[in-house]
């Protein structure tokens, strides 16, 4: 097994600050992973993603297997070389996108067949094929193949889905053990049901993984319901392994999850918002299309240290979006990624200082400002 180690440097309540060490570099936790769906963090050069503070990014197995293709990627030297990102990459298993984006989806014990949303071609993904694709991409952290349980789900449906995912998790591990590449994370399922989450956690630990993800959240249940699950789900997972909450989220989601013991996050929100004129600031969100910004000479956020806030006004960014200029989306994406990475650093620092509860109260209070 290639190098993979996780160390917790400090705790404050349930919150943890630590470090994941891998062959391609270290990841400071709590960590936010910008999403590089199609071998690019949209609107950003890799060096600028790194400059914002990211130690690791996420790649999407579903999108990359369809275009340009995993075997082609391997022939070209793997995802790191292809996109010029030398640091760690986590790849998801493709299961969520197969269910949400694929057409004519047919699921059975062996795996899932589906029709590509790009060109209509038919594909089949099993746990073994998902692991193979991620290995061809050269991923540093590989995710076990699972079914993302739909929400809402009855207990019977959630139980059936979870147990299928656990069988697939074992097959994912068996396939992965034939490789010396990176680390494999298992994914806890069980929807909103505590007993199912406990069963899932126990089955995953019987199999054994380098890290553990909490799946099946951020699927429409709302923040309060998500936090109710996070009040018990992280503690079911091993304390000496990283805990990854998949697909989350808003800054307030991240703060609440860190307070409940989560170490890793990913979400398209900062980049997607950047393309739709929404900026994250300490005082809430701003819509740069709003007319009130047309003659505003102030930066997006006077307390932000990013290059965008140092050099450009709200008026200029408003103009770029009104004029349909691509630079607007690029600059706002850069600012949003900096905002998220600054938040993660502040969370790490406050955990180390033993002040995370006060920091969270302060940040959440400022975020409560009405949207711009």
CA-based nearest residue to 89, from 62, 131, 60, 69: 60
Q: Are 336 and 342 in contact (CB under 8 A)?
A: no
Look-up: residue for tokens 């400059």?
51
E strand segments, the chain: 4-12, 15-22, 25-29, 31-36, 57-59, 89-91, 103-108, 111-115, 122-125, 141-143, 183-188, 211-214, 243-245, 264-267, 278-281, 284-287
| Residues linked to residue 18 through DSSP beta bridges, in sequence order | 8, 29
| Annotated catalytic residue 266 | yes
Whether the Cβ atoms of residue 19 and residue 351 lie closer than 8 Å to each other: no
Distance CA 32, CA 34 (A): 6
Q: What is the enclosing helix (H) or strand (E) of 14?
A: none
Choosing from 12, 92, 146, 301, which is the catalytic residue?
Answer: 92
Of 45, 59, 126, nearest to 333 (Cα)? 45
Task: Assess whether 349 carries a catalytic annotation.
Answer: no
Look up residue 90 and give its two tokens. Answer: 């986590």
* Catalytic annotation, pick one of 12, 253, 263, 266: 266
Give the separation between CA 61 and CA 307, rounded to whole angstroms.
32
Where in the sequence numbering do the catalytic residues fall? 92, 266
């Amino acid at each position: 097994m290639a190098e993979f180690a996780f160390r917790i440097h400090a705790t404050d309540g349930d919150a943890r600050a630590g470090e994941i060490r891998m062959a391609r570099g270290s990841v400071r936790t709590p960590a936010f992973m910008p999403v590089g769906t199609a071998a690019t963090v949209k609107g950003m050069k890799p060096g600028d993603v790194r400059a914002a503070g990211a130690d690791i990014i996420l790649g999407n197995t579903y999108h990359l297997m369809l275009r340009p293709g995993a075997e082609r990627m391997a022939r070209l030297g793997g995802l790191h070389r292809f996109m010029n990102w030398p640091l760690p990459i986590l790849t998801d298993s493709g299961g969520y996108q197969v269910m949400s984006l694929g057409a004519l989806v047919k699921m059975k014990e062996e795996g899932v067949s589906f029709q590509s949303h790009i060109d209509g071609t038919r594909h089949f993904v099993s746990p073994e094929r998902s692991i193979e694709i991620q290995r061809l991409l050269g991923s540093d952290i590989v995710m076990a193949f699972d079914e993302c349980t739909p929400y809402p789900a009855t207990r019977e449906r959630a139980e059936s889905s979870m147990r299928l995912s656990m069988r697939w998790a074992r097959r994912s591990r068996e396939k992965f053990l034939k490789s010396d590449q990176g680390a494999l994370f298992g994914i806890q399922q069980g929807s909103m049901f505590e007993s199912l989450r406990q069963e899932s956690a126990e089955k995953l630990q019987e199999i054994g993984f380098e890290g553990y993800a909490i799946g099946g959240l951020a699927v429409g249940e709302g923040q309060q319901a998500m936090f109710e699950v996070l009040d018990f789900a992280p503690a079911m997972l091993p304390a000496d392994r990283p805990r990854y909450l998949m697909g989350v989220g808003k800054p307030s989601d991240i703060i609440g999850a860190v307070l409940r013991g989560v170490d890793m996050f990913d979400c398209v929100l900062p980049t997607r918002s950047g393309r739709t004129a929404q900026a994250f600031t300490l005082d809430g969100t701003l819509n740069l299309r709003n007319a009130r910004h047309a003659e505003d000479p102030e930066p997006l956020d006077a307390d932000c240290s990013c290059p965008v806030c140092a050099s450009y006004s709200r008026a200029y960014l408003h103009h770029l979006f009104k004029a349909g200029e691509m630079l607007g989306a690029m600059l706002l994406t850069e600012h949003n990624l900096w905002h998220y990475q600054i938040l993660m650093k502040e969370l790490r620092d406050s955990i180390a200082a033993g002040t995370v509860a006060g920091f969270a109260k302060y940040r959440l209070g400022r975020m409560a400002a009405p949207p711009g």
